[in-house]
Structure formats: C-alpha cells, structure tokens
Amino acid sequence: MKFRGPLLGLVPLVLLAGCLGVSPEEARRRGLNVRGDDDDGDPTHNPGTPCLACHAADYNPGDDVFALAGTVYFHVEDPDSRGLAGVDVYARDARGREMHAITNRTGNFMFDVEGGPDGVGFRERSNGRTRLFFEPEYPIEVWIAQGGTEQRMRTPIRREGSCATCHDALPSATSIGRVFLMETP
C-alpha cells in the first residue's frame, strides 16, 4: 500500500504520453503543401492535393467526407492553382452505377455519399460537388470530357479515393502526373 502515492503520480504522466506526437493521418495532413485556409468549407480550396487526406471516412478534420475527389487540369504539367473549370467527370463503379460531377473554378470535383452500399442514383450540386446515394464499390472506372475531348483512365481505381495520391504534381517514378484533359502539344 505504501507504493500507492508514487503510482498515482505516474498516472498523469502516462495520460500525457498519449498526447505526445501525432497520428499518421495528422502527420500526412500536415505534410501536404496546402494553400491558405483549408478548413473553411470552400470546395475550391487546395487544388491538386489529396482530398481524402482531410476528407476520408476515418479521418476528416475538414468535416466533409468524400468517396472520390480530385482536381482536373488542362495539361499534365499545369501548376497546382490552375485547375480547369467545367470539366465533366464521369465514373462507373463495380456494380455499373454511374456518377457525374462538373469541376468548379479551381478544377476540383468531389463525390460525397448519403446512403448505403445498395443505393442508386446521384444528385449534382453546385461548385464541383455531387452527392451519391450509394457507397461506390471498387474498382471504379473514370473518364473526363470537355468540348468534345475525352480522356479515359487506362486502369481502374482499385482503392484510393484521392486522385492526387497517384496523380502528384510532376510525373516521376511514383506519380503519373496530373489528371489532365489535353495531351501536351
């Protein structure tokens, strides 16, 4: 019983230890090269960054939760801030359910979900948003179109809801480059 005092003194230290450091999700979010306020609910923020880093079902300091979201550019090498507005983004999930969104002024689009895995249909909203009434099932095929030009993703998305996770700024060994509409002349 005479050890109770020191043990009680340790309890706050143990509790404090739980506050040290950050979760992997938080560390990833902090590592993103985000521009300006990223938590203001404006769907034009942070084009070119992996949206689900802050808007995933299991980690969402940005409040909104997306199933699939990204930024479309005119050319593959365009800078982060020059996304392309008014691009039709189409997707079809493993069950053949189609979805559509139109990019906003910074090229961003996002699909959020209201419903379970067996729902159907979607509703286009403003500013790049579309609400799905089902949880899309992978693999998901994606294609984009504008003004008679179409680009189709050569391989389906298997699990990653953020386009920018694989489509990072510059083509490299680990990135295929931006989601783009036109081949560079």
Partner 1 sequence: MRWAWIVLLGPLALVGCVEPQAALPLPELDVPFYQQHVHPIARWSCTALECHGVEGRPLRLYSEDGLRASGDLRGQPLSDFEASENALSFEGVDPVPRSVDEHTALTKPLSVDAGGLFHEGDDLWLDRADPSYVCLRGWLAGELDVVAACEQAERAIEPPP
The nearest distance, CB 113 to partner 1, in angstroms, is 19
| Residue whose structure tokens are 């099932």 | 137
In SS3 terms, 33-80 reads as CCCCCCCCCCCCCCCCCCHHHCCECCECCCCCCEEEEEEEECCCCCCC
Tell me the window of 31-39, 80-88, 123-131, 167-175 that interacts with partner 1 (CB under 8 A).
Answer: 167-175
159 counts as binding partner 1 under rule CB under 8 A: yes
| Stretch touching partner 1 by CB under 8 A, among 63-71, 103-111, 127-135, 151-159 | 151-159
Interaction of residue 171 with partner 1, rule CB under 8 A: yes
Binding to partner 1 by residue 2, rule CB under 8 A? no
| CB neighbours of residue 60 within 10 Å | 15
When asked if residue 155 is in the footprint of partner 1 (CB under 8 A), the reply is yes
Per CB under 8 A, 138 contacts partner 1: yes
Query: Using the rule CB under 8 A, which residue among 165, 169, 179, 180 binds partner 1?
Result: 165
The CB-of-140 to partner 1 minimum distance in angstroms stands at 11
Q: What is the CA radius of gyration of the chain?
A: 20
Q: Supply the minimum distance, in Å, between the C-beta of residue 91 and partner 1.
A: 13
Residues 6+ apart with CB under 8 A from 81: 35, 47, 48, 106
Local structure of 82: helix, strand or coil: coil
Main-chain dihedrals φ then ψ at residue 115, nearest 5 degrees: 145, 175
**Least Cβ distance, residue 73 to partner 1 (angstroms):** 16
The binding site for partner 1 (CB under 8 A) comprises 138-139, 141, 152, 154-160, 165-166, 171-177
